[in-house]
A and B are shown apart, each in its own frame.
Chain A
């Protein structure tokens, strides 16, 4: 029922943000996903994050691949242009879109089938290139739209709804993102909105490739005993290693943090990110330690969540390519076409 629009009416006292929008202005069409689907919670977190960041909805481009998760961009940011591309190929389309207009914010939404199976290559190369985007994988370990097959992120030994035990090793997208050079890597849980909203805000504001793996249980096909992506399992086995406490676009100091408790990092655009470590000795600005920590958690069958790694001064593909500050899609003939005289000169050199 994705063509159903929500009634635009809302309570007149609903709070507006600094650009004059209420939270309702960030919503989209009514979701057609199953009741209780983790993905709807992620959509709600995206709505909340964009509202809190005072982003004008039409300045966001939302792109996705194919699958349950990839349908969700229709259910948030209705005033934004969206693009539901082909299976596993969102990263390349987003890369091209980003190159065309660097002034928009790019939100890439994908699933575990979309990014870890058919799209593993494009996921990897987008991370490598440092395409500036918030790349969110809504990870439920299962193919929902085709009714319950394992995906590549399903844990070895976990059981499908039909009772089949998965014998393949899982693809760990977080580990890969860290290894491949992503400059903002986080993991969230769709059942923990308080943690997820700041993670999304941080990803949107990040200057390079930001990746968030959000464990998002599938109520229809992967929420049973024996699954390691069920609400119950994830609630019992996740541990937050860090928390983003504060994100501000202001450049002034937010007051000194308590020593040893938190660290303030200045980002590419001058804003301040305050990170609070919840795990003794965890330093989210150390890529190698983050990778080691992830592997320790994984070996114990635990799921580490929170902001796992950030390079606050990260830059992106545009910096690498030295593209003009004016978006490429806004350049005029005079800026693009060398003209007839230059061509005559070139002709002369070809004789």
Chain B
């Protein structure tokens, strides 16, 4: 058995029990490698549970900077007897199995092609700690200590991280350092080290930052000027509202009065949440809610009202596995159609697709501007993979002096000057009408907002021509939206090709890696990353310029492809589905294999069959 040999390019997976305190130790492990200048991409794979069920933490160490999930495990830190068999089975041949050897296991529980490292963690901890909680918590730090020896992670880096984490809590700091060295000393004395997989200092992290998408979106809402947040707790979006609270406490308290320049309400349900956002938007405050698929279902009636009555609203949808309660702690991109066409009647909504935390920040701020400019709901379509995992990304940027786009709001002066006010009248040709805010002028500019049909001056009307004027104007407005949303990004292949690929959101890092892998296989693809709906003209042009375009997405029904076919009237045969929907983040291996298979099917003789089949295993 040849052990896997790799420097700065391997996957370690931790199998733990939920609620055992492993999360912070595992995060410490990932962060220590990052501090050594080596990019990491960690992912929490957790159950809908607080205590007792299995949970995993997968760390991809990747000097090349591939931040998508790789697939496959080179080292398993197997700390959960419940999932032992499956965890052991997942290890790549030649990989490593690290486990607590306090209680001996029969040989049948191991694999001959896996390098086994046993360490009596429970025994070590029981000898040193008497408090049961401490025994449990420090067991995690002890294995991090052992791993730092096995993988050659600099212990000083870990100690520095402890120092930052426990600043001012000297007792905690000392006991964590002690546990770390407990693990290190044992490993050095009793285990073979280093392993074939190792960490070596590098400089590939650059000025990148390490943060989760939900925090980033919340910060984007602070920078983007949101003052009202109404929400209802739902996985995986709750931490957006919690992070907004945290950042507001830091940045939005009036220094002289101590009063808050924000209002956050945890509503009784998602219906009330979006109702509050609509009320605040109607009244001129920037407002948002954060939710997930089931919440969007509940909000749908209000979304239709906001579309038709033309009220700004920002909705951050951290997508999870659907339908119904679905997979609350797994990731998908399966709310595209539900959001794009939310509510009864003819409706269409603006969707933004951030690829990572950096874009969660940017798109959240952009959504608040777009909602005001377009006077309509705007969705930020993130997902659990981006939202709840820390991701290495470009640092946040904000142009000093950047102004908010408050859109077309008529002032008291405008009204006083006799400017014609037709709330639903297109005066500028872009489909966007002017609005007034309540309380603006004593005698001019008031109107009655309603979800019923009306004429351009907001007067109730069920006349056919009034109705058609209004809904066609809304379509015109939607076309305007396509020019204002974040535009798609194009990556041209190194060789001219008739094949293209469209992708979006959290698929991005896996796609970047797959494109390189495909190129090594001789398959060249022009790639376009969609960043918003409605689609700008460049998307139709991209499709027209290629014979076949793969559409890579994380849902069963090819929802993005449906949107493309429906909105651009593209021949469906030209859009080839690449679908990943088991709830885990899509991998480069999956995309590469799926596209290879499709390309082979297109030109059977052009390619040998072996590589695709191998990759599909």
Q: Which residues of A are in contact with B by a Cβ distance under 8 Å?
A: 2-3, 56-59, 61, 63, 73-74, 78-86, 89, 91-101, 103-104, 121-122, 124-125, 129, 317-318, 321-325, 328-329, 331, 333, 335-340, 342-344, 346-347, 350-351
Complex Cα distance A231/B287, Å? 44
Can you list, as one digit per residue, whether each of B265-288 has a CB less than 8 Å from chain A (1) or not (0)?
A: 101110111111111111111010
* Interchain CB contact (< 8 A) of B461 among A3, A59, A101, A329: A3
Let me know if A122 and B275 touch, CB within 8 A.
yes
Let me know if A92 and B209 touch, CB within 8 A.
no
Let me know if A84 and B452 touch, CB within 8 A.
yes
Let me know if A339 and B400 touch, CB within 8 A.
yes
Which residues of chain A have C-beta atoms less than 8 A from B332's C-beta? Answer: none
* Interchain CB contact (< 8 A) of B283 among A3, A100, A121, A333: A100
* Interchain CB contact (< 8 A) of A331 among B261, B272, B397, B399: B261
Q: Which residue of A lies closest to B357 (CB)?
A: A350
A-B contact count (CB 8 A): 232
Q: Which of B447-476 contact A (CB under 8 A)?
A: 447-452, 455, 459-461
* Interchain CB contact (< 8 A) of A122 among B210, B264, B272: B272
Which residues of chain A have C-beta atoms less than 8 A from B278's C-beta? Answer: 85, 93, 96
B: interface residue count bin? 35 or more
Among A57, A104, A342, A343, residue most surrounded by chain B Cβ atoms (within 10 Å): A343
Q: Which residue of B lies closest to A88 (CB)?
A: B271
Let me know if A81 and B262 touch, CB within 8 A.
no
Which A-B residue pairs are the 8 nearest by beta carbons?
A96-B279, A92-B275, A100-B285, A96-B276, A81-B438, A100-B283, A93-B279, A96-B280
Can you list, as one digit per residue, whether each of B376-408 has a CB less than 8 Å from chain A (1) or not (0)?
A: 000000000000000000011111101110000
Let me know if A350 and B449 touch, CB within 8 A.
no
Among A91, A98, A99, A121, residue most surrounded by chain B Cβ atoms (within 10 Å): A99
Let me know if B279 and A100 touch, CB within 8 A.
yes
Given contacts A96-B279, A325-B257, contact A343 B396 (CB under 8 A): yes
How far does the Cβ of A111 sit from chain B's closest Cβ, in whole Å? 16
Complex Cα distance A129/B228, Å? 15
Let me know if B446 and A79 touch, CB within 8 A.
yes
Complex Cα distance A2/B458, Å? 11
Among B207, B210, B222, B448, residue most surrounded by chain A Cβ atoms (within 10 Å): B448
Among B210, B222, B283, residue most surrounded by chain A Cβ atoms (within 10 Å): B283
Let me know if B440 and A58 touch, CB within 8 A.
yes
Let me know if A92 and B284 touch, CB within 8 A.
no
Which residues of chain A have C-beta atoms less than 8 A from B129's C-beta? Answer: none
Q: Which residue of A lies closest to B455 (CB)?
A: A3
Let me know if B259 and A125 touch, CB within 8 A.
no
Q: A329-B285, A337-B223 are in contact. List 11 more A-B contacts (CB 8 A).
A: A58-B446, A61-B283, A86-B305, A100-B227, A100-B228, A100-B281, A129-B265, A333-B404, A335-B254, A336-B222, A337-B225
| B436 interface residue per 8 A CB criterion | yes
Given contacts A81-B438, A81-B439, contact A324 B259 (CB under 8 A): yes
Which residues of chain A have C-beta atoms less than 8 A from B227's C-beta? Answer: 99-100, 328-329, 331, 336
* Interchain CB contact (< 8 A) of A347 among B273, B396, B447, B449: B396
Let me know if B282 and A340 touch, CB within 8 A.
no
Q: Which of B197-234 contact A (CB under 8 A)?
A: 205, 207-211, 219, 222-223, 225, 227-228, 230
Given contacts A89-B271, A92-B275, A333-B404, contact A338 B251 (CB under 8 A): yes
* Interchain CB contact (< 8 A) of B449 among A84, A129, A318, A339: A84
Complex Cα distance A317/B230, Å? 13
Let me know if B282 and A338 touch, CB within 8 A.
no
* Interchain CB contact (< 8 A) of B263 among A83, A91, A328: A328
How far does the Cβ of B32 sit from chain A's closest Cβ, in whole Å? 13
Complex Cα distance A99/B272, Å? 14
Which residues of chain B have C-beta atoms less than 8 A from A325's C-beta? Answer: 257, 259
Let me know if A79 and B451 touch, CB within 8 A.
no
Q: Which residue of B lies closest to A64 (CB)?
A: B450
Complex Cα distance A78/B448, Å? 9
How far does the Cβ of A53 sit from chain B's closest Cβ, in whole Å? 16
Q: Which residue of A lies closest to B287 (CB)?
A: A96
| B252 interface residue per 8 A CB criterion | yes
| B442 interface residue per 8 A CB criterion | yes
* Interchain CB contact (< 8 A) of B275 among A96, A331, A350, A351: A96
| B437 interface residue per 8 A CB criterion | yes
| B443 interface residue per 8 A CB criterion | yes
| B353 interface residue per 8 A CB criterion | no
Which residues of chain B have C-beta atoms less than 8 A from A91's C-beta? Answer: 272, 275
Q: Which residue of B lies closest to A347 (CB)?
A: B395
Let me know if B268 and A125 touch, CB within 8 A.
yes
Complex Cα distance A338/B225, Å? 10
Let me know if B263 and A99 touch, CB within 8 A.
yes
Complex Cα distance A259/B280, Å? 47
Among B261, B263, B449, B451, residue most surrounded by chain A Cβ atoms (within 10 Å): B263
